[in-house]
Amino acid sequence: MHKELGIGFGVALLIFLLANGYNVGPLVVLGVTAAAFYYFVRVKGLVKNFAVTEGGGEATVSFDDVGGQATAIKELREALDFIKNYNRARHLGIRPLKGILLTGPPGTGKTLLAKAAAGYTDAVFVAASGSEFVEMYAGVGAQRVRRLFQTAREKAQQSGKKNAIIFIDEIDVLGSRRGKVTSHLEYDQTLNQLLVEMDGIKADDTVHILVIAATNRADLLDPALLRPGRFDRQVRVELPDREGRLEILRLHTRNKPLAADVDLAVVAKETFGFSGAHLESLANEAAILAMREGLREIHHRHFVEAVEKVLLGDKLDRRPTRDELWRVAVHETGHALLSEAKEPGSVTTLTVTPRGGALGYFRQKSENDNYLYTQEQLENRLSVLLAGAIAEEVVLGSRSTGATNDFEQAISVAETMVRAGMSELGVVAMAELPDTVRHRVLTDVIRKREEEVRRYLEARKGLLVRIARRLMNEERLSGEEFQALVTQEMAG
């Protein structure tokens, strides 16, 4: 509104002066200069306003809102207690921390933890992203860093607070190793300014500032950022385990009406590898599916389908030909049979419904989250991955391109076995292996599993065909249905 009034007043003034015979040339030059200055300062963002949230309000995020990160919360609380209990820390001669670096995979709750830290310390929360400090104009990034710290101090004083938390997301964009971009020193100048500002944080400042940064690529950061006196603590924010996933699901379903058949513990068990963001999306997708059906409660089947949607995407309208559908059914049944043989009861879903980039898939569960794998477990994993293509070969006489992704994963598993000293070479350094030797060893590891899988499926070809036909007709089998078919065959 003020901009439009100013433009209108300026035009009216020029018309008035022209009508009275005044020379308006100097005024036009002044106006153009002012417009150019406004363009570079406002439109191009030389002056940056950062998002500010006051801690301690009703909408403040607390650590109770962060699920599945008990270890990270414990470490973070310990560091924040130096700020919260400043007088006691000073009595013991403790220097308050200047920076905390949150590292871990995307979607694990790093931003949420930073907001909870602001609530825990009753601090003003100023948020920025690493990309906001990168500009083509020299000096802009450094000016924005200064502005960020200035904003934190000003907002804390205006709010009557003693603490301010500056949160920088994706700090690897701003804080990557200096000297990498030799043609443009803007990146280095911006990082240098951040280092200077962090060095300038004093324990006796009127407003104590704590810098919290998040990244999933800590290996890219400049060593100067990670030394004591800058980012004093590194807190790992990992993917949640099963208990953590259950806690997160409870948080994200507390405002959702769940039917009596919903068992969140089962859902948590079947979502190994899901981050907090994945689980939030899962709960949301389940609610959407229930709404589509006109239901007032979310049922377990909605969570099952939501897991598939989060993993692979929505169902596709395109349909494969009948011959393709039969091949897909044989392929997925081969995977499932080997999974059942290696770990009874592990198959949860078997389908030939196209979803995302997959024409069909099978999903398996594990009794426990595994972080270490034995040689036997890796060999079993290899067998399951290879079973789809070999099932096609046993029933149809040839393989297809549908096994491409399976083979890529199989090679990755075989490489893990070689690196772990589980091959005929014993303990080796993969980087020093000649390509010919590496190729031969990987091929031998995979070929042994292929021979075992082929013998197993050829001996059960009839069962493989019968289950594949049932799958083709019904398009989807639950783990219980699949296991009943296998049990029935074995009993017969």
Q: What is the CATH number of the domain that holds 82?
A: 3.40.50.300
- Using CA atoms, how far apart are residues 111 and 117, in angstroms rounded to an integer? 10
One DSSP character per residue, 355-374 reads BTTBS-EEEE--SS--SS--
246 with 230, same domain?
no
Core vs surface per residue 286-315: b (16+ CB within 10 A) or e: bbebbeeeeeeebbbbbbbbbbbbbbbeee
Does residue 143 share a domain with residue 270?
Answer: no
Task: Return the DSSP state at 101.
Answer: E
In a domain, 167, yes or no: yes
Whether residue 465 is found in the same domain as residue 379: yes
Question: Does 304 reside within a domain?
Answer: yes
In three-state secondary structure terms, 212 is: strand
Tell whether 80 and 217 lie within a shared domain: yes
- 13 inside domain: yes
Residues 347, 447, single domain; the answer is yes
- Say if 93 falls within a structural domain: yes
Same domain, 420 and 434: yes
Cα gap 149→154, rounded to integer Å: 9
> 332 catalytic, yes or no?
yes
Would you state the pLDDT for residue 492?
54
Residue 317 forms part of a structural domain: no
Residue-by-residue DSSP string for 126-153: EEEEGGGG--SSTTHHHHHHHHHHHHHH
pTM score: 0.72
Structural domain that includes position 282? 242-312
Q: Supply the CATH number for residue 268's domain.
A: 1.10.8.60
Of 285, 332, 340, 392, the catalytic one is: 332
CA distance 453 to 77: 51
**Domain final residue pick, 196, 221, 236:** 236
User: What is the structure's pLDDT at 43?
Assistant: 45
DSSP for 441-471, written as a single string: HHHHHHHHHHHHHHHHHHHTHHHHHHHHHHH
The answer as to whether 151 is a domain residue is yes
Residue 78 falls inside a structural domain: yes
User: Is 173 within 8 Å of 180 (Cβ atoms)?
Assistant: no
Residue 296: its pLDDT value, please?
93
pLDDT along the chain (492 residues), means of 10: 58 64 63 56 49 51 85 86 78 81 89 88 85 66 85 87 88 78 63 84 78 88 85 88 91 92 89 88 93 93 86 69 89 92 86 75 69 86 93 92 89 91 85 87 92 93 92 86 82 57
Same domain flag for 343 and 433? yes
* pLDDT at residue 349, rounded to an integer: 83
Tokens encoding 192: 């240098």
239: helix, coil or strand? coil
Query: Are residues 477 and 436 both part of a single domain?
Result: yes
Assign residue 424 the CATH number of its domain.
Answer: 1.20.58.760
Going by C-beta distance under 8 Å and a sequence separation of 6 or more, which residues neighbour residue 477?
349, 350, 351, 467, 470, 471, 485
Same-domain status, 148 and 81: yes
Boundary of a domain, candidates 255, 286, 312 = 312
**DSSP codes joined into one string, 47-62:** S-PPEEEETTSTT---
Say how many domains are in the chain: 4
183-209 b/e with 16+ CB inside 10 Å = b?
eeebbbbbbbbbbebbeebeeeeebbb
* Count of CA atoms in the C-beta half-sphere (13 A) of 284: 7
Structure tokens at 23: 């020379």
For residue 66, give the amino acid letter: V
Residues 55 and 200 in one domain: yes
Same domain, 253 and 380: no
**C-beta neighbour count of 398 within 10 angstroms:** 9
Same domain, 56 and 181: yes
Considering the domain boundaries, does residue 249 fall inside one? yes
